[in-house]
Amino acid sequence: MNFLKYFTVLFISFSFVLSNYTGVNKKEPFSFQKEKQGSVIKSENNNLKKELIQLENEFKGDYDEIKTHYKSKITSIKDMQKSEIQALKKNYNNRRKAIYKKYGVKPPKNQDNNSMNNSDVYSPKNKDTVKSPYKKLKK
């Protein structure tokens, strides 16, 4: 049994010693850490390089322009949606008031403040008078 333990420890340590620990270059980042910069082909043709760089710069400019136009369109559409919803709410509120008036019934009051009365959650009415079950430490 002892021989088996020594053999496994020796085998594992020997495998670490023989492993290729210099396989990763510390100066060069891993492939997932590299920033993808312009993919200009490495060649000796300078005219080709210039045109490819110019094309890449034009693409970046057009891409940024599309992004900014898209953002402005989205904000205008959101504002339009907001105003349409507010107009719809006003219309329905006026129609609801007209229905109550037609039948001679007073509209119910807002019960936002009393919505917690019917729930099972305990909330104290006067927060100043609620005492903590823990005694405060005196300094």
Residue written as tokens 């997932």? Answer: 32
Per-residue pLDDT, 42: 62
Tens-place pLDDT, residues 41-56: 566 788 888 898 999 9
Residue 118 lies in a domain: no
77: domain range?
3-103
Residue 117 lies in a domain: no
Residue 51 lies in a domain: yes
Residue 61 lies in a domain: yes
Residue 62 lies in a domain: yes
Residue 75 lies in a domain: yes
Residue 36 lies in a domain: yes
Q: Rounded CA gap, 83 and 2, in Å?
A: 81
Any residues with CB less than 8 A from the CB of 130 and at least 6 apart, and which?
124
Mean pLDDT of the chain: 79
Tens-place pLDDT, residues 74-113: 999 999 999 999 999 999 999 999 999 999 888 888 765 5
Residue 17 lies in a domain: yes
pTM above 0.75, yes or no: no
**Based on the structure, what is the number of domains in the chain?**
1
Per-residue pLDDT, 11: 86
